[in-house]
Structure 1
């Protein structure tokens, strides 16, 4: 669990260090900007924003049990990041499968959202929210 928070912790430490150093030099605007920059990136890469990915087999099993949609995504995909950002509040209510980490996750395109055999390719956040309900 701590490893997943490592990068966020480092970025928050940088935010405090660089922001604090600017604050000590009486540069309030610079301190706020540096703190906000590093803390913001730390939040974006945190497990709150990016929940843990599971395997496709585990996601299928969990989805059958709890009825939550499965989102197939990959790192550095701009459409996947856009969807993850738009769903940041509902991210914990979905099962995330990183197709680069799990080669058995065979989908035609990413992001793909699947629930009960229905697949949505590159869906809008509103469509995914409707599936979650």
Structure 2
């Protein structure tokens, strides 16, 4: 569980340290701005921006992801509100999902891995996924 939040925690702590340094030098406006930027980074890299799904199943397309993955974040951003039409499974939280990804990605835990109609795609172009979702 802590591994999922590590990047976000580092960003938040770094923000506090940098903002504290700015406060010491007498720049409260700069400190507030830097703290806001670092806290935004902490939220964006956290599991909070992804739909929460643990188990696989059902007939919706599945996206396997993990926190801190920039490619997963890019896919999530491109899909926008349509992301909720997918089943998002965190491979760090679901060992069965990690095994499925390894089976698709030649033994690697490469994410995002998208499964549509039973066929797996490793790190597909986000625009392609969006198109595929519209035709499905």
Identify unmatched segments of 5+ residues in structure 2. Answer: 1-6
Alpha-carbon distance change, 103 to 85 in structure 1, aligned in 2, over 3 angstroms = same
User: Structure 2-normalised TM-score?
Assistant: 0.58
The within-5 A match list for 1:92-103 is 92-103=84-95
Q: Indicate if the aligned counterparts of 1:49 and 1:85 stay in contact, CA closer than 8 A.
A: no
Alpha-carbon distance change, 47 to 103 in structure 1, aligned in 2, over 3 angstroms = closer
2:74 aligns to what? Answer: 85
Q: Indicate if the aligned counterparts of 1:71 and 1:114 stay in contact, CA closer than 8 A.
A: yes
Identify unmatched segments of 5+ residues in structure 1. Answer: 1-6
2:63 aligns to what? Answer: 71
Displacement of 1:114 in angstroms is 0.9
Displacement of 1:28 in angstroms is 5.3
Q: Indicate if the aligned counterparts of 1:71 and 1:94 stay in contact, CA closer than 8 A.
A: yes
* Structure with the larger helix share: 2
Alpha-carbon distance change, 48 to 100 in structure 1, aligned in 2, over 3 angstroms = closer
Displacement of 1:43 in angstroms is 2.5
User: Structure 1-normalised TM-score?
Assistant: 0.59
Alpha-carbon distance change, 75 to 87 in structure 1, aligned in 2, over 3 angstroms = closer
Q: What is the aligned length?
A: 118
The within-5 A match list for 1:1-133 is 22=22, 27=27, 30-46=30-46, 48-56=48-56, 60-61=57-58, 64=59, 67=60, 69-75=61-67, 80-88=69-77, 89-90=80-81, 91-105=83-97, 106-107=100-101, 108-109=104-105, 110=110, 111-133=112-134
The CA RMSD over aligned residues, in Å, is 3.8
Q: Which moved more, 1:109-118 or 1:85-94?
A: 85-94
